[in-house]
Amino acid sequence: MEKDMNCMYCSENEKLDSLMIYIADLGVSKLYLFKEQTYYGRCVLAYKGHVKELYELSDDESAKFTKDICTAAKAIAKAVNPEKMNYGMYSDKLPHLHCHLVPKQVDGYSFGGTFDMNVEPPKYLSDSEYAEIISKIKENL
């Protein structure tokens, strides 16, 4: 799979580390826990190769990526028991195929609407809280 070393997902650089915590490799993607946790359990699934659009994948690769999305979403759902999982694939300013997996709770932030990418004020967890949610997700992968 081709890489673009100017891309944070391909280079796995300090910008990626400042925003996310690596959880696991799946079939054709990597799963990360988003550090900002207003939506408890929010993750990002990034395709391992550098493509901008879902339609750039072959039928086989898009099926594998979709399978990874489902695998990750199920694991997150088992870990945090959301009322609904939101999925977001934008990439306007970060042209690399990735999907936000955002668990939503009835009494949680913005339930009933689309999830906000940048919540103010942001909610961060302690190291032990990050470790706990990552462990729960990994147990269900």
Contacts of 112 (CB under 8 A, 6+ apart): none
Confidence of residue 60 (pLDDT cuts 50, 70, 90): very high
In degrees and rounded to multiples of 5, residue 58 shows phi and psi of -65, 165
CA distance 66 to 15: 26
CA distance 110 to 38: 10
Mean pLDDT for 43-61 is: 96
Mean pLDDT for 37-52 is: 96
CA distance 58 to 28: 12
In a domain, 25, yes or no: yes
Predicted local confidence at residue 125, as pLDDT? 98
Confidence of residue 114 (pLDDT cuts 50, 70, 90): confident
Mean pLDDT for the chain overall: 94
Contacts of 49 (CB under 8 A, 6+ apart): 1, 2, 3, 28
In a domain, 108, yes or no: yes
In a domain, 1, yes or no: no
CA distance 69 to 45: 7
Contacts of 104 (CB under 8 A, 6+ apart): 39, 82, 83, 84, 85, 86, 110, 111, 115
What CATH code is carried by the domain that includes residue 90? 3.30.428.10
Number of domains in the chain: 1
In a domain, 48, yes or no: yes
In a domain, 2, yes or no: no
In a domain, 3, yes or no: no
Confidence of residue 89 (pLDDT cuts 50, 70, 90): very high
In a domain, 115, yes or no: yes
CB 24 within 8 A of CB 138: yes
In a domain, 67, yes or no: yes
Predicted local confidence at residue 56, as pLDDT? 95
pTM: 0.95
C-alpha gyration radius of the chain: 14
Domain span holding position 62: 8-139
